[in-house]
Each structure stands twice: as structure tokens, then as C-alpha cells.
A and B are shown apart, each in its own frame.
Chain A
Amino acid sequence: MKLLWFHLMPYTDLPDDFKQRHPSVWVDIDSRLFDPTKAHHMYNDFMDELEAAADAGFDGICVNEHHSNGYGLMPSPNLIAASLARRTRDAAVVVMGNSLALYNPPIRVAEEFAMLDCISGGRLVAGFPVGTPMDTCYAYGMNPSQLRERYREAHDLILKAWQEPDTFTWNGRYHKLRYVNPWPRPLQKPHPPIWIPGGGSVETWQWCAERDYVYAYLSYFGYQAGQATMNGFWGEMKRIGKDRNPFRAGFLQFVGVAESRDEALDLYRESAEYFYNRSLHVDSRYAAPPGYASEATIRSKVVSQVLQAAVRATDERAFGAPSFEEIVSKGYVIVGSPDEVAEQLREVAVTLNVGQLMLLLQFGNMGKPLALYNTELFAKRVMPQLRDLFEREWENRWWPKPLPSAERARPREVGR
């Protein structure tokens, strides 16, 4: 299976009373809490961590896009990915991804992803999220009733722009472009693998199956809560006649590993509590703009993940924050010794049938030393126990196909 290292880039210095004094970590988070000098160090630490993860042998390193968000400091994941493309050798550069409807014209995504694919020598995974309501409808003012239509049109335009050799005209519903001819084009042919980060909507599952894309469920609530969604996904695959190739699916899991379970509980308590009680303090008024969820989704009573988070946040305001014990017992974060973590992750991967496993090994206010410790211990002692899973039975058709290593450029060393 593939083991990927995912960074959200959370702001690590929200005050202790953040939850009590501020309504939301997202959309209208108080900008006076943002210290750019601290952010200078955070960005550099985070990029060090991503580079270290690649060096440690993770198959891929993942970044994503958020706006006006105190747990995601990457309005442009492409900027980070550009640097990672230069500073890593073999890891897949997984941009999870660009919220297509927010780019005007959307060929910007075709261009920037093509740049990343060329710079990295064909290591790009192109993530195409619709984007959360907070990012798209509130922080970026996108009409929730048009978001998905615009997303689909942008998708079609980007795919054509990557594959059509001749300059063409796009006369779409939302975009009219007389001359479409992005330059550069992606190195991978016909295009980089496409992964779709999604919540629990049936349409997204069908869309991934129809287009043969990876469906990635980026849950913050662990494998127990993810079970229902992944069951739904595989049920839908079966219904429409697709195989159970586990590489069709990605899943995100928080992990804290140490020499012993007791030590892990001790080491990761603070950053886990920080994440679930401060980073994830989302105001529910930004969770459900009308039209964001389709009527089919409402009918099937599949509540989107962000709504769940926000409802949780609301509930927790009423009933108190989740304790570390709950965070662990509910599986939001898997903690333990290397063997315990490996055993649990194996069970997660098999139960959810997920071949592209994304690990969050830095979370909350975790500093660089602990993030590197977690990363290196995972790479040395957990990863070898999981690597072989699914590999013999299934082909991973959704992984980048880079140039052979010997044919790839060698960036110069950083000078003084």
C-alpha cells in the first residue's frame, strides 16, 4: 500500500482561551491572532517536516488548500508544492488540491499543475476538490447554488486543456475563452493521476467511478467514523460494477507513535487536544450554505463531513470539548507503540479497503522536534509492517509515473 505524509499547516499559536473567546477558526477568525514572524517559522518548520518525510521514505507528501483558516495556512498549496518539487527526489507530490471553481479562468489550474508536473519530473498527483463551504462560499464568495456546476465545467475544461494538442475555443456556461492553449503541458500522459477529496456524497462516489479517479475521504474523525462513508463508497462501487481495488480509495488518519503506548499518550496529548478543541472550532453558521449539498444528498440523509464537524463543534460548545481519552478511544488519533500502530493501521486499511493511506503525523500545535520524531519512528518501525499490503493482489493505476530517476534534473544545493 501507499503511505503518504499529509500536512494541514495549522497555525500553532492560537491562545488557550481561543474556543471561549472566538466564534470560529474559519472565515471570520480574528486576524489580530496572526503573527507573521511566527508564521515565518511555522511555514519553514512545516516545509522541513514535509521534506523530512520524503527523505524518510514516505511514498508521497500531501498539501491542501484552505482560505481564512486557522488550521490550514495554505491558500495556495501550489506554492508549497513548487518548493517541495525542488527539495525532494522521489516522493509523489500530492496536491489535494485546487478547488476548481475558485480559479478564474480555471485554466490557471491546468497551467500550475502542468508546471508542478514538469518541475517534479512527473511526480504530481492532481487533487480536484469541490472545496468546503467555508473556503468556497464564504471566504471566496462563490455562489453555493452554482459551485458544483462551475466545478464540473472547470474540470472538463482543464482535462481538455491538458489533452487537446491544438488551440481551442471554450464556450462554456460560465467561462468563454476564445483561445485555450496552456503552455506548459503536463509531463505525465495523458495527464497526472486525479484524486478527488470528498465528503460522503453519492454523486462524488459515482463521479469518481465514472471517471476512474481516486476517492479520498479526508476525515478528521478517524477510522471508526469513516467506516460508514467507506462502506457507502464500496457499496456504490459494487452497485455500478467496479472492482474493489483498494487503490481506488484514500483515507486520512491522525497517528502518534512512540516507544510505548504510555509514552505516546503522554507525548501527543497536548497537540491532539489543541487540534480538536482549537483548530477544529468551526462555527456551524458557515457549514451549510443553501445549495451546497445536492437534494439527492439531503434526501439520502448523508450529512457532509464539514457539517458534522460544525455540528460537533456546536455540540461541544454545549457539552464540553472532547477529552484526549475520547479522541483516542473514538480513534480520531491512533496512538501507541510502533507495533500497536502498525496493527491498528493494518486493520483500518483492510476494514476500510484503502490503499492510499494518508497520515497526519503533525497536528495541532505539535512542534518540529516531535513531528520529526513521529515521522521517523513511523518510517522506520511502522511503515515496513504495512508496505506489502494489497501490493500483490492489486495494481495501483492511480500513482504518478515519473521520469526514470537517472533522467531527472538534480537541483543545485542551497548555497550560502
Chain B
Amino acid sequence: MTGAGPAATARVVHVAGEDLRVLEAGRGEPVGFLAGLGGLPLWTPFLERLALERRVVAPSLPGFPGGGHVHHQLDDLLDWITVTLDLLDAAGLGGADLVGHGPGGLLAAEVAALSPALVRRLVLIAPFGLFDAAEPVADPFARRPSELPRLLSSHPEAFAATLALPPGEDEVEWRVGSVRAAEAAARLLWPLGDLGLRKRLHRIVSPTLLLWGGEDRLVPASYAKRFADGIAGPTRIRSIEGAGHRIDLDAPEAAAEAVLAFLREA
């Protein structure tokens, strides 16, 4: 934590039979955040920075930290989209701006396509959901643990430190929580092929920012154009040089500023 922004508070919303955590911080117009791989075990400097200007509301997706075991109820993409819609409604994010990262980006795009009125401005940070065999999305689920930091981040040592056991946490539960988050992502994305979003992109009418780390080794930065080409609403592509897939860790200030600048245009 940089101490630059307001502290987050937690509440719960009841979705799919479980209490799911919603973290929030800041004031003003709400902006929803659907987190990426690993979810939000802790609040991040990127979100702190966003919360200097907006009320950031981050509901936990099923199986990700704070997301209970709801993922075990979800059998296909439609189930995931349905629970995401329920979650955004319950968190009071109907009609708000929405930011999604990685798997959260996929679900944000799906929600914007299927329920356009729910999303004002849309920010997709290196989202999953498209697949080009000529330049495939890398497989984060077939990695030795030592390889993951380099795959996900341009600052692998700093990234690895975020995975370490925080003081006061139970080691087994911390490990179970991180495996559960990986399982939730796998349940949604496995085996990382085209999920059908391609056929729905034209339904996205929200102004959309496609934000990428220039050194994303997981979802190639060239996918920004594939998304932009399919989305009906006005799109902007923004790449942050020197950042990897975890742009929120590699370049929190620049990433937050890019998001805020785009949202300010409303």
C-alpha cells in the first residue's frame, strides 16, 4: 500500500446463495472493478489511486478471494455472466462505469454486450475471451510455480512478493485461497480457447478503453486491436510500455491515470 489513497472497507452482498465480499473506497461517482487473475486478496495501489478521484467498488467474482465457493455452481459461461449481472446489481453498479482485468475483463465485456444499459464507460484491461491460433494466449495453468511471476509481470520479484504470506494470515488458508482463485479462473477459461465473445462484441456500444501492458506475455497486446475491431462503441487503445499482464502492479500510477483520464471524458 502506498498510503496515497483512502482505505478500503468491506461489505457483503448475497448472491447465488452465498455472501460475496464487496470492497470499496473513495467518493464520487462509482466505478466497478472486476479483478483479474488471483483476484483481490488485498487492496492494491492501483485501486487506491483510482479511489482518489472516484468511488471504487470491487465485488468479488465467484471463487476469487471474497467470492466463496459460488464457482462450483457455475457450469458454463452463461452461468458466469448471470452471476456477474446479479453481482453488479447487488453491488449497486447498474449504469456505472466498469473496469475489468483478465478474466474480469472477459466478464465485463460480456455484461456490456448482453446488458448494454448496465455499463456506461467500459475499460478492459488485457481481457481474455478471444483467441487467435496464430498468436495464442499463453497458458498460465501449465507453469512451474517459479515461472508464473515472469509470465504475469514485468517486475517478477515484486510480483512474487505480493503472493507471499502476509503477516497474521494462516499459511494453509492463504494457500488454499490462492489455489481457489486459480481454480475459479480455470473453471471460467479452460482450456483458453475462443469463448464465443467474438460473436457478441458488436453488441458493445459503451465507449471502451482497451488498456494493455506493452510487455504482456499472457494475452498479447495485439489482441487490443481484435477487441477494438469488433466493438460497436467508440474505442481507444492504450498501451503502457514496460508493464506486463499485471499492469496494476507493474505500473499502478500510469494504469490508474489512463483509466481516470478515459473516465473523465464522460
**A associates with B:** yes
Instruction: List the interface of chain A (C-beta within 8 A of B).
Output: 27, 137-138, 141, 143-146, 149, 173-174, 283-286, 289-291, 293, 295, 298-299, 301, 314
A290 near B141 with CB under 8 A, answer yes
Q: Which residues of B contact A27 (CB under 8 A)?
A: 142
Chain B residues with a Cβ closer than 8 Å to the other chain, count: 21
Please list the 7 inter-chain residue pairs (A to B) with the smallest Cβ-Cβ separation, ordered nearest first: A290-B182, A291-B183, A145-B187, A290-B183, A143-B190, A141-B191, A290-B186
Stretch at the interface among B28-36, B92-100, B156-164, B171-179: B171-179
B144 near A284 with CB under 8 A, answer yes
Q: How near does chain A come to B188, taking the closest CB pair, in angstroms?
A: 9
B147 near A145 with CB under 8 A, answer no
Determine the residue in chain B with the shortest Cβ distance to A286.
Answer: B142
A143-B142 CB under 8 A given contacts A173-B75, A174-B75, A295-B176 = no
CA distance A293 to B179 in the complex (A): 9
Given A149-B72, A290-B141, 9 additional A-B pairs, CB 8 A: A137-B190, A145-B72, A145-B184, A174-B75, A285-B142, A290-B185, A290-B186, A295-B180, A299-B176
B190 near A144 with CB under 8 A, answer yes
CA distance A141 to B176 in the complex (A): 24
> Quick one: which of A143, A145, A146, A314 contacts B144, CB cutoff 8 A?
A314
B186 near A291 with CB under 8 A, answer yes
CA distance A401 to B182 in the complex (A): 45
Q: How near does chain B come to A138, taking the closest CB pair, in angstroms?
A: 7
A143 near B186 with CB under 8 A, answer yes
B176 near A145 with CB under 8 A, answer no
CA distance A27 to B142 in the complex (A): 11
Q: Which residues of B contact A284 (CB under 8 A)?
A: 144
CA distance A290 to B172 in the complex (A): 16
CA distance A274 to B180 in the complex (A): 37
A295 near B179 with CB under 8 A, answer yes
The secondary structure that dominates the A interface is: loop
CA distance A284 to B183 in the complex (A): 17
Determine the residue in chain B with the shortest Cβ distance to A173.
Answer: B75
Q: Which residues of A contact B264 (CB under 8 A)?
A: none
B141 near A289 with CB under 8 A, answer yes
A289-B175 CB under 8 A given contacts A141-B191, A173-B75, A284-B144 = no
Q: Which residues of A contact B175 (CB under 8 A)?
A: 298
B183 near A144 with CB under 8 A, answer yes
B191 near A143 with CB under 8 A, answer yes
CA distance A301 to B179 in the complex (A): 13
Determine the residue in chain A with the shortest Cβ distance to B189.
Answer: A143
Q: Which residues of A contact B141 (CB under 8 A)?
A: 144, 289-290
A138-B142 CB under 8 A given contacts A173-B75, A298-B176 = yes
CA distance A301 to B71 in the complex (A): 23
Q: Which residues of A contact B199 (CB under 8 A)?
A: none
CA distance A143 to B184 in the complex (A): 11
Determine the residue in chain A with the shortest Cβ distance to B178.
Answer: A290
CA distance A301 to B75 in the complex (A): 28
CA distance A17 to B198 in the complex (A): 45
Q: How near does chain A come to B69, taking the closest CB pair, in angstroms?
A: 9
Q: Can you list 6 A-B contacts with CB-CB less than 8 angstroms, sorted by A residue number? A: A137-B190, A144-B141, A146-B75, A286-B142, A289-B186, A301-B172
**B71, B75, B191 pick with most chain A CB within 10 angstroms:** B191
Q: How near does chain A come to B66, taking the closest CB pair, in angstroms?
A: 16
B183 near A298 with CB under 8 A, answer no
Determine the residue in chain A with the shortest Cβ distance to B177.
Answer: A295
Q: Which residues of B contact A137 (CB under 8 A)?
A: 190
Q: Which residues of A contact B190 (CB under 8 A)?
A: 137, 141, 143-145, 289
B186 near A144 with CB under 8 A, answer yes
B180 near A285 with CB under 8 A, answer no
Q: How near does chain A come to B48, taking the closest CB pair, in angstroms?
A: 28
CA distance A146 to B187 in the complex (A): 7
Q: Which residues of B contact A299 (CB under 8 A)?
A: 172, 176
Q: Which residues of A contact B172 (CB under 8 A)?
A: 298-299, 301
> Quick one: which of B142, B143, B183 contacts A145, CB cutoff 8 A?
B183
CA distance A290 to B71 in the complex (A): 13
Q: Which residues of B contact A149 (CB under 8 A)?
A: 72
Q: Which residues of A contact B143 (CB under 8 A)?
A: 285
CA distance A67 to B186 in the complex (A): 21
Q: How near does chain A come to B64, taking the closest CB pair, in angstroms?
A: 12
> Quick one: which of B144, B147, B187, B191 contacts A291, CB cutoff 8 A?
B187
**Which residues of B41-87 have CB atoms within 8 Å of chain A's CB atoms?**
71-72, 75
CA distance A144 to B142 in the complex (A): 12
Q: Which residues of B contact A286 (CB under 8 A)?
A: 142
Determine the residue in chain A with the shortest Cβ distance to B192.
Answer: A141
**Interface flags, B183-218, vs A, CB<8A=1, else 0:** 111110011000000000000000000000000000
CA distance A369 to B86 in the complex (A): 67
**A141, A295, A314 pick with most chain B CB within 10 angstroms:** A295
